[in-house]
């Protein structure tokens, strides 16, 4: 499919899972969640498939919508927080890069939220590079995976793509 891919929202996803785990005092290795869309203000939390120990978050003790909003707000602000406190993302971005490199070098066929140029096959989004679940292996981005999303999540993902489009159009005008 494509040997060109970006780190996308892998770092955001790692932070998101860490914050969920921390808030629920649960095992980090049992926390699964995704951030999709752009790595920026229009990123989209995918609550519909988020789990801890295989339980959906709405069934996990202590989970509620106020906590969800707090976690997502902190996730969105984590990059700026790292910059202001430490001057950069430090080791966290290294872990995200390692995940992508290992998936490629070890031909893991691992599903990661990396950024690739969309062709309309998933969620009807095209001609913009955003993060969606993607099988990553030796050949790069092998296959995009369209997971079921809540209507609000799908709307957010499409809005994220639309938010990036003007920047892409500006860059392409300068290149062309």
Q: Is 172 helix (H, G, I), strand (E, B) or coil?
A: helix
Q: How many CB atoms lie within 10 A of CB 31?
A: 21
Q: Is 39 a catalytic residue?
A: yes
Please identify which of the residues 15, 39, 76, 144 carries the catalytic annotation. Answer: 39
The Cα 20–Cα 82 span in angstroms is 18
Q: How many CB atoms lie within 10 A of CB 38?
A: 24
DSSP H helical segments within the chain, as ranges? 10-24, 65-86, 91-105, 151-175
Number of helices (H) and strands (E) in the chain: give both, helices first.
4, 8
Indicate which residues carry an active-site annotation.
39
């Amino acid at each position: 499919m494509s040997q060109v891919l970006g780190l996308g929202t892998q770092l955001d996803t790692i932070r998101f899972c860490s914050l969920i785990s921390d808030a629920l005092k649960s095992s980090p290795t049992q926390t699964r969640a995704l951030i999709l869309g752009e790595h920026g203000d229009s990123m989209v939390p995918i609550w519909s498939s988020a789990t801890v120990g295989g339980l959906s978050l709405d069934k996990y003790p202590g989970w509620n919508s106020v906590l969800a909003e707090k976690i997502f707000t902190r996730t969105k602000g984590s990059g700026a927080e790292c910059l202001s406190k430490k001057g950069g993302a430090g080791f966290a971005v290294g872990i995200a890069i390692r995940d992508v490199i290992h998936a490629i070098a070890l031909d893991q066929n691992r599903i990661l939220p990396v950024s690739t140029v969309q062709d309309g096959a998933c969620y009807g989004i095209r001609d913009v590079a955003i993060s969606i679940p993607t099988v990553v292996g030796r050949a790069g981005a092998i296959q995009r995976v369209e997971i079921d999303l809540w209507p609000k999540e799908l709307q957010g993902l499409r809005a994220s793509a639309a938010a990036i489009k003007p920047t892409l159009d500006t860059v392409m005008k300068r290149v062309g």
